[in-house]
Structure 1
Amino acid sequence: MGSPISHHTSHTMANGASSSNSGCHGGGSSSITHHTSHTMANGASSSNIGAHGGGVISSFNGHYQSHLVESSLVNSATDLCDLTTNIKLRETIELDQADDSTSTNTSSPCSSVSSISLDDTDNSDVDTIISGISTLANFKIIDSTLREGEQFATAYFDTAQKLKIAQALDEFGVDYIEVTSPAASPQSRADCELICKMGLKAKILCHIRCNMDDARIAVQTGVDGINMCIGTSSKLMEHSHGKDIAYIAAKAKEVIEYVKSKGVEIRFSGEDSFRSDFSDIVKLYSLVDSLGVDRVGIADTVGVATPMEVFNKIDALRKVVSCDIETHFHNDTGCATANAYVALEAGATHVDTTVLGIGERNGITPLGSLMACIMPTDREFILNKYKLEKLSYLEQLVAKFVSVEIPFNNIVLQKCD
């Protein structure tokens, strides 16, 4: 597993001010931090520590620079006076230490250092950290270009375009293709049925509300699975459907039992999960897990979640449910890819993506960006499972259909080393 490397350089000026830059990575993977410490002649020091939740392997390279001061940093008579005082003080301390050493020890001043063997160093903590590094090579992609992507401002996919996108996604190797609810319109239902009959390797999912009418229509289309959702935040419970958690639990139970009886996969997701009362989410997801749901979904519907929040909540959820965990991250703050990555580190198993990240408002986690983010960690898994050489065509196809230019800084992936 590749490890992010954080370089931090900090400089303390002669007047006591300091400049600092620290690298930080959250989410449980190991990082290597290079720490450079510079002590200036006035006694001030510069320091850098790169932090990483769950354990840090640090390589320190500290240099005591009592006689090394850049002239540009000394700007006043006061600084020069302090400099002279500090140098004299340090010289006095060094002389005293030298006298003590010669009176009790005739060996080389460096003998105590040179006698240390690296083989004798206790590496148990380092070994524990390294052994605890997990791989991400067990996740699945649910591409939602034909569902979430249809909410993009300029997306008006006709049937032929949907079939081409579905075929291209399947050739790339996504695990699931999610389409719009067949209950949305007769055309949506007809398109869903056509895609189900294409004979693709990817499983076909459709998105529905938490009600029996939607569930019955979905099952009739021949989909492999159903992604059911209902608002669970206080705002959505008040302004969207007007129901409470008890009602949601009862309806979810009814739909889950029906869909499972038909041999179809079922996911339950609380819309706006990250702004919901998390104790409600835990209780509700524990219930649906006991009912045999295949996945629970946790959705950052308005794109406000931070990576640390994502890790903590997914980690907590992973400890209370045994089913798979699907994640859906909107990109309003630019954190969708980072949030998807740390969600996988915390125990999520499925990530929702779209081609080029298209979707409502700023869209969701882009398929290409997720691939690029995971490549350094699980390169072999990505190359063996997904056909990266197909990504460029897929992105050009979708860009053409929604009338946008591929961004100048779009991720470019290649199979070669």
Structure 2
Amino acid sequence: MCPHANSDSIPTSQTEMVAVDISSPKVNAVNGVNGANGHGGSHPSHQQRRNPYAPRASDFLNNVSNFKIIESTLREGEQFANAFFDTNTKIAIAKALDAFGVDYIELTSPAASEQSRRDCEAICKLGLKAKILTHIRCHMDDARIAVETGVDGVDVVIGTSSFLREFSHGKDMSYITKTAIEVIQFVKSRGIEVRFSTEDSFRSDLVDLLSIYQTVDKIGVNRVGIADTVGCANPRQVYELVRTLRGVVACDIEIHLHNDTGMAIANAYTALEAGATHIDTSVLGIGERVGITPLGGLVACLYAANPEYVKSKYNLPMLREIENLVAEAVEVNIPFMNPITGYCAFTHKAGIHAKAILNNPSTYEILRPEDFGLTRYVSIGHRLTGWNAVKSRVEQLGLTLTDEEIKDATAKIKELADVRTQSMDDVDSLLRVYHSGIQSGELAVGQKEALDRLLREHREEQHARQRSLSNGKGVAAAVAAAA
């Protein structure tokens, strides 16, 4: 068990990058595991290479290719410091998550406030494909309110660690067990799903946990939940607890993982390997403190293991739209290092990387940007650029240069980039001037002074043209004013 213990938004233009043709050859990693629901990935063909680190078919408890996501942006996400979702925003987020394909959408308890109750009822009436859940305390008063909202299921939770039993609700395990049975039986009597979860599971006594989970499993709970409420667990602890629980209960196992120590995605993946069936997520990971398992990060991790299964299950190009929607609602930027949607997630810079990417993107990419409706880029206006990346840009511009000439032009780009990073316009201008000089006979490979002269003349022409345009605008404005 547990011991006691700068953002950038997505740019509107890629001014220093070359878009790479997405029709380049690809290599998919397919793990060959068929999920129990019949959604398993297809068997790899002779042209595909098996991922040696993907789940093994022999591990019969492994659910990496047979899982469900309980999306908690509209419950856990409301606990994020910046979050305030009005009804229209909640509906927009719920519809977007449904279009993406999440299995469940979890909402704030209708017992929290009158508006929370009305919002819960409104979302239940949308007719979404995803099942709608609400999250309540293990208390009959909350349960009575929840079952009247029209939800498909109720998620019941109560703290079981010594910390929470002493300093939060003050109840012992006997009371917790008795109340859990009462609430679960009541919810079941209404014909809807019910999950029972302990809170602060990884700091709870293992005997207490297994005892109450066995009890609720016997009375027919749909899922039991494990919660790393303070984010203290590591993958080995998660694996051992889920594996142990899998041998004790017959129902599904859900896991809720906070990210205080940066372990949420790794812990979620490990939980599935150990036999968990449902993972709680939120968009961008928003939630209490630093939040929980992020939807996009988990999808990236699971895609890497079995892309065909994940593509068949979710509308992946929707991910960026959902993250932008939530980011705007809570007034944060998409982090630059965000999996999939970070602005440099599919940008390649180093010369060796760029050469390999241009030959086969799978050399330096485990995720295919086109599967997410995105594009890869090769950044070339810098001192690390390689001539193969510059050659790709030359071809895109429709210029004709030999390899030796491209290498010569690349040396000039590197020289200029030692002073400042060159924009794509800067690079394109240099390549066009170089090409023009070669074609006119004014330039040859190695003639540095001639190239400097041609570039200087080009800059002077550009400045003269800009001055002329400015003067023309000034005259036009004066004439208009006089009229």
Note the alpha carbon deviations across 1:131-169, whole angstroms, 9 max, x for none: 347452211000000000001010011111000000000
Per the TM alignment, residue 234 of structure 1 is displaced from its structure 2 partner at its CA by 0.5
Partner of 2:86: 158
Are 1:131 and 2:55 matched, yes or no?
A: no
Residues 235 and 267 in structure 2, CA contact (< 8 A), matched pair in contact too = yes
- Does 2:161 match 1:233? yes
1:355 aligns with 2:283: yes
In structure 2, the residue matched to 1:275 is 203
Q: Which residue of 1 aligns with 2:322?
A: 394
Superposition pairs for residues 377-388 of structure 1, below 5 Å? 377-388=305-316
Counterpart residue number, 1:326: 254
Match among 219, 222, 236 for residue 308 of structure 1 = 236
1:286 aligns with 2:189: no
| Counterpart amino acid of residue 145 in structure 1 | T
Contact 2:154 2:193 in 1 (8 A): yes
1:75-90 matches, within 5 Å, as: none
2:111 to 183, 193, 209: 183
1:11-26 residue pairs with structure 2 within 5 A?
none
CA contact (8 A) 2:256 2:292 kept: yes
Cα 1:389–1:283, aligned 2, differ >3 Å: closer, same or farther? same
Report SS of the residue matched to 1:384: helix
Unaligned 5+ segments in structure 1 are 4-29, 34-53, 55-128
Name the Cα RMSD after superposition. 2.0
Deviations 1:232-279 (A, max 9, x none): 000100111111000000000001111101001000000101110011
| Equivalent of residue 187 in structure 2, options 253, 259, 268 | 259
**1:31 shift after superposition:** 9.0
Q: 2:129 aligns with which of 182, 187, 201?
A: 201
Distance apart, 1:2 and its partner CA: 5.7
Q: Cα 1:32–1:277, aligned 2, differ >3 Å: closer, same or farther?
A: same
Where do 4+ consecutive residues of structure 1 move more than 6 Å?
A: none
How do 1:367-386 and structure 2 match up within 5 A? 367-386=295-314
Q: 1:32 to 1:139 in 2, by over 3 A?
A: closer
SS at match of 2:155: strand
Q: Distance in 1 between matches of 2:65 and 2:178?
A: 36
Matching of residue 210 in structure 1 with residue 129 in structure 2: no
Q: Which amino acid counterpart does residue 192 of structure 2 have in structure 1?
A: V
Residue 369 of structure 1: SS of its match in structure 2?
helix
Q: Distance in 2 between matches of 1:382 and 1:283?
A: 35
Contact 2:51–2:305, Cα closer than 8 Å, also in 1: no
Aligned to 1:405: 333
8 Å Cα contact 2:238-2:267 kept in structure 1: yes
Task: Please give the secondary structure, in 1, of the residue aligned with 2:72.
Answer: strand
Inter-partner Cα distance in structure 2 for 1:190 and 1:365: 27
Distance in 2 between residues matched to 1:340 and 1:403, nearest whole Å? 27
Identity of aligned residues (%): 62
Q: Residues 320-355 of structure 1: CA distance to partner in whole angstroms, max 9, x if unpaired?
A: 000000000000000000000000000000000000
* Matched residue SS, 1:267: strand
CA-CA distance at 1:416 after TM superposition: 3.7
Alignment partner of 2:262: what SS? coil
1:175–1:274: structure 2 CA closer, same or farther, 3 Å change rule? same
**2:391 alignment partner in structure 1:** none
Contact 2:103–2:131 (Cα < 8 Å) also in 1: yes
Match of 1:365 in 2: 293
Aligned residue runs from structure 1 range 83-162, under 5 A: 131-132=58-59, 134=62, 136-162=64-90
Counterpart Cα distance in 1 of 2:235 and 2:140: 35
> Relative to structure 1, is the Cα distance of residues 130 and 380 closer, same or farther in structure 2, using a 3 angstrom cutoff?
closer
Secondary structure at the aligned position of 1:146 is classed as coil
Aligned partners of 1:203, 1:380: CA distance in 2, in Å? 24
| 2:63–2:275 CA contact under 8 A, matched in 1 | no
Which is bigger in relative contact order (C-alpha 8 A, separation at least 6)? 2
Q: 1:355 to 1:130 in 2, by over 3 A?
A: closer
TM-score where L is the length of structure 1: 0.69
* Runs of 5+ consecutive residues of structure 2 not aligned to the other structure: 1-28, 32-49, 341-366, 373-483
